[in-house]
A = this chain, B = another copy of it.
Amino acid sequence: MADMVGKERRILVAVDEGEESAHALSWCLKNVISENSKDTLVLLYVIPPRVVYPALDGTGYLFSSDILAAMDKYGTDVADCVIEKAKRTCKDLNDVKVETRVERGDPRDVICQMAEKLGADVLVMGSRGYGLIKRALLGSVSNHCVQNVKCPVLIVKKPKSTAGNK
């Protein structure tokens, strides 16, 4: 019973630009993180690959390098913004160490790999991350993680209103 008590837990929270992700993080802070614990909270944002966008032009080869560079810049800007917002949400944590990671790749794979690599004790995420278009192209990130991550996975849905019409 006591093997986790006092142990440093690594809690990996996959964040993205959506409201549900913000809600998942808040819920985690209130319900999973212990204020006086040795928990480490790792905020992970995965910049999806460009392969998400080419579908918009149908071929993937019509965009100029300028546009592609602008897309990459956009991806990085979004990452900065998401991570900053997530860090602000965590600013009231006293003893909990907060780390941030930004990675590139298919969020489904990267989140699973990071959970493993970081030795996460639990992975926390929203159920409908990465927006409608990306989700349609990438498939459900949360479903994939529930299937493939070995550590416990906590899927937090935003109540009613915006995310309620499942």
Task: Give the B-binding residues of A (Cβ under 8 A).
Answer: 1, 3-5, 9, 24, 26-27, 29-32, 34, 92, 121-122, 127, 142-143, 146-157, 159-160, 164, 166
Judging by beta carbons under 8 Å apart, are A4 and B30 in contact? yes
Q: Looking at the complex, which one of B26, B149, B155, B166 makes contact with A153 (CB distance below 8 Å)?
A: B155
Judging by beta carbons under 8 Å apart, are B27 and A1 in contact? no
> Which 3 pairs across A and B sit closest by C-beta, in order of nearness?
A152-B156, A4-B30, A154-B154
Judging by beta carbons under 8 Å apart, are B31 and A122 in contact? yes
A3, A5, A30, A32, most chain B CB atoms within 10 A = A30
Contacts of A31 in B (CB 8 A): 4, 9, 32, 121-122, 152
Interchain Cβ contacts under 8 Å between A and B, 7 examples: A1-B30, A4-B27, A127-B146, A142-B146, A150-B164, A150-B166, A154-B155
